[in-house]
Structure 1
Amino acid sequence: MILKFLRVRGASLAPLLKDGDFVLASRLPLWFRPPRTGEIVVFTHPAYGRLIKRVAQILPNGSLIVRGTDIDSVDSRTFGAVQPHQVEGVVIARIARPER
């Protein structure tokens, strides 16, 4: 995947990303550098599937601590650090869902 268009499900990064929004994720930045603190990444977790979270911290071994903005978000507080090979891409654009 170089570019992937994904629909946001859930509100773990609200108000930045809301349920029903779309994001464009790219693997291209990761060809040149590791994810950075503050970036929003898409990754696959074996138990939870594909998730979108913000990088909160990068550990000395290169693994990532990821967080959602919701206190009840399933994130590194639940499943621990994310390994770099799990990261599919960095979110480079957001398309808000149409308001009704």
Structure 2
Amino acid sequence: MLPELAHGDFVIVSKFYKSLKVGDLIVAEHPEYKSIIKRIVQVSAEQGVLLSGNNSASVSSEKMGWISSKKIFGKVIFEFNAKK
């Protein structure tokens, strides 16, 4: 599976969102991988969110672990694919 976003693509991110749900694309700060854009696959009030990439070469959810809601920068509200 190809990545949804490629080098040169742009996203617009909002820090102001009511809630996050499975399927949302977010920007978060990961302690090992730094700034990441990933899709939410699970939401937990206690643990935060579990993320996944669309590409088979992406870092697995198990390796990334849970991301605290405090580490979420914002929700992607628009994607512009430069090469499509």
Moved over 6 A (4+): none
> Are the counterparts in 2 of residues 41 and 54 from structure 1 also a CA contact under 8 Å?
yes
Q: Which one of 13, 21, 36 corresponds to residue 25 of structure 1? A: 13
TM-score (ref. length: structure 2): 0.85
Q: Which one of 31, 37, 41 corresponds to residue 22 of structure 2? A: 37
Please, which runs of 5 or more residues in structure 1 have no aligned partner?
1-11
Task: Tell me, in whole angstroms, the C-alpha distance in 1 between the residues paired with 2:14 and 2:82.
Answer: 20
Identity %: 29
Equivalent residue pairs, number: 84
Determine the structure 2 residue equivalent to 1:58: 43
- 1:8-46 per-position Cα deviation (integer Å, ceiling 9, x unaligned): xxxx971x32222110111011xxx33111100000011
Higher RCO (C-alpha 8 Å, min separation 6): 2
TM-score (ref. length: structure 1): 0.73
Q: What's the RMSD between the two structures over aligned residues?
A: 2.0
* Distance apart, 1:60 and its partner CA: 4.5
Higher strand share: 2
Please, which runs of 5 or more residues in structure 2 have no aligned partner?
none
